[in-house]
Every structure is written in structure tokens, then in C-alpha cells.
Structure 1
Amino acid sequence: MTTTKRLVLAVYAPSLMGGDDRTLAAVHGMERALPGLRLDWEVTEKRQLALLPQRDEWLAKAAAQGKFPFVCNGNEGFPVMLSGLTTPASQAPGGQPLLDVHAKLPLDAAVITAAAELLERIAEGARAFWGHATPDGAALDIAYQIAPTLEGPPSPRRGLPPLKLIQHIRSPEIPYYLGWLNYWSEAAARAIGFPDPARDTELLSRSRRTATGGWIVQLTEAPLDLDDPAHLEALKRTYERFPEIGGRAAP
């Protein structure tokens, strides 16, 4: 039996405020990026799927309360889900509360083709500082870069650099880590020093600007697979290029 690979997507944005339209913008953006997708189901407290006949009104009401509830497509054969949660100021970079928006999708050919647009539309809909889209296998390895151990500091796999805990990053514009596809807002790109035409020729060949002046930066042509030595080297090389990511730069 084979396990279905998934694309894990996350963006980090300012926390929701009353009357905020970013929840709807992120949901609508995800639907536009993947034709035929409709996120109009919820999971009830009894863990059952329930159709949302007035989905947009329901989401707007939740957003007014500072919430981004879980929505999905109701298709157990091709499950797509999107939700958000708040990181309180005490646990967030720069002491500012954040909205963390997370999505999961099956990693099939259609999703791979649409992945950059999915990330861009969700990130810009949420007006995110930064975000990423990464296959779940690589995302697990990357998670070890920030996971504390019993001894204290993280102990990453595959020779990847250890990264600071989220609350120790000095500002929300600085990405905590890298992924296969990276969304860097204009502020995030400025904070990490991207782009430098003299140093970023290879990255720029797989990057594009967004409508708001941000960047979609793709580390590898194929979805990131850290069992591939070339992919692992590309990830390490990009960390070396941007020491601000993960709070590794000297103060």
C-alpha cells in the first residue's frame, strides 16, 4: 500500500481584525488557482462532513470574531483543506500576533502545476509576510530544524542548519525556514536581502514577482525531495545564501 504524498502550504500574516476580508480572499484565491475546487464543507464537532450552503457569509462572520475556520472540499478521494489559527504575541516573532494559514492537498500533477499560483493567491489574499509550499516528506525534515530536543537546541537531519524558535525571530517579516516554493513579500525580501543580481542568478531564473511586489521563489524544478542529493544541496546552498532566515544572522 502506498501513502499519498501531499503538498503542505503555510503562510504567515498579520492577525485578523474585525471586518477583515482576508479569510474570504484566501479561500477564493485557492479556488481560482485550482479549477473545479470548491471549499464549501466543514467538519462538525462530531467529526462529520457538513455542507456550508452560505459559506462566504459563514466565513465572514467567523473572521469578524478573529477566526479562520477549517474548510475543505468534502472529497475523501482527493482531500483539500484550508484553515487558519492565531499565534499569540508571546509566541510570535517581534511580539506581534500572527495569522497562520495552512493548506494540504494531494501532490498530483495538477497540484504541482498549480502550486506556485496556489501559494501566491493564498499568500496575497491573506496579505502574508511570507510562506511556503513543500511536499510533506521534505516538510518533515525541515520541521526538525526548529524542533527542540531534550538537550535543548534542535538536531536537524541531513546536515541542515538548526534554526531559532519562532518567538526568537526578531521580526515577522523574516521567514522561519525555507520550502520548495517560497513566498516572500516585498518586506520579507528586503529583510533577507533578496534579490542580489550578482549572487542570485540561479534563484532568479526560477523566481517571479507578484502583483504586490513580492516574490515566488522556487528552489528546484521538481517538487523538493531531500533524498535527491541535488535537491538537498540546493536547500543547503539557499540557507547559506540567506543567514537571516531562521534567525541565524549575527546580531
Structure 2
Amino acid sequence: MPRNLYDCTATELATQPVEHLPHDTPPSDAAAWLDTNGYDAAPVYRGDDPVGFVHIDDITTDTNGDALNDHLTPLTIDHLISGDAAFTTVLSALIETPFYFLGGHNNVSGILTRADLNTAPARIYLFDRITYLEEHLRELILSEAPDWKDTPITRDELEAIEDRHADAQAANVALDEIHYAQFSTLATVVTSVEACWQTCGFTTKGAADTALHEITDLRNDVAHANLLVENTESNEFLSSGRTTENLYTTLETIHDVLTNLQNAGYDPGTTSESPV
């Protein structure tokens, strides 16, 4: 049976608890407070009740007025997300809006921003899916590309695989050599063998190469604790750095390839040799 994968919800990603501003805070003080703390937005309370929120773009240290009332945005359903929202739901929502609030019992219990996609729960979620994909790709290669060493893999890559395999043999825990190949090597093999990239659901070698390259880059950033979302200000097509939308698209590709491989019968959970 397929192994259980780590689930990640909005509650696990969100910043908690949430600091708030009293409604009678002078706008200039609120702007300075947001800037000092590095917050883009914060809820505003009247007594113990949230009445809205302010965003740093709506107020400045030069803003006139005695209170925040004229600068409030109502805290409506458009700005709220369920704490139970799944990771993919969170990603989709953050493409459209850069932040959301989580609601508790008569209070704001958390704030979720694009920057929260760079936290540990997101890394664990993504690493689990990418590792699971690696397991499926190895099963595919063993079946469809038994001569995978003849594909355009560098001599250094092959020697590294053989060294890791030899260490495993010495410890009497060895699997097939393909299990000691890195994700980038698996991607090279898959894009070099038509039966492999077609089974993954790609219509051309170029499409397979582009998609697997993006997954490889994401895998490396996850593994080395680099930023997963490098641009939290924009999702425009020509934006510099990985955006929330880029991350969503790459994760969607991972899910699609996993589905295609499972439908084709390449499920590492059903074989005895594959690692758990």
C-alpha cells in the first residue's frame, strides 16, 4: 500500500499568535509599528473584538488623523482562510492575495502570508512529495530503462552512484544501483528515454526536461534550506525568482506525474525492494 504522506494545513503554516493594534492608535504610530516589526498587515481591535485590519500600504508615518477607523479594511470572508485548509488550497489562495487571517473564537488566531511558505512545515510537505516521486521514478526506470547507465549521465555521476552502492553492499543493505542516483540523475534518465517521459504524462521530451528541471531546482532548495518562494511581491510571468504561482505549478506537476505513474502500475509501495 502507498505510504502515508505528511499533510500540512494553514494552521501549521500561519504565524501565531497575532499581535493587533487598538482601534484608537494614531495612524502614524501604527505605520511605524508595522515597519519596525516587519509586518505588512495587522488586525485592529476595539476592546476584545476584531473590527478590521490595516495594511502598511494604506497608512504612512505622515498619515493624519487621530485613529485608524478611516484606514480600516473590514475583516470579511475574502480575507479569511480556514485553519484546516490543505497546503494546495493555501498555495492557490496566496496566488491571488498575499495574506489571509485565520479566525478563532471571536478573535484572529493567525496570519498567513506568502513568506510563510518558506517555513519548516512547507519544506517537510514538499520534501515528502518529491521523495515519493523519486521512489516512483526509480521503479519506472528499472522497468522501462534497464540500460539507464547508457543514457547521458556523466562519468562523475556514475562513479558517485557506484561508490554509494559499494558502501551499501559492504553494510549488507544494498538495493539496485538506481536507488543511489540523485534526483537530477533520475531526471536525466527519464528525459532521455521516450517510454519513461511518456509514462510520466509528458507529450514531448522538451516538456519533460523543463518540468523535471523545475522539480530538481525545488528539490535542491528544499534540501538546502534555500528560499522556496523568492518573490513574495508578484506572481507576474516575468517576475524574478520563484513566485507562489511557480511553486503551485511545480507542485501540480509533481502530483500529476505521481498520478500517471501510479495509474501505469509503478507504485513503490507494492514492491519489496523499494525503500519505505
How would you bin the TM-score normalised by the shorter chain? under 0.3
* Higher fraction of strand: 1
The structure having more radius of gyration, on CA atoms, is 2
TM-score by length of 1: 0.23
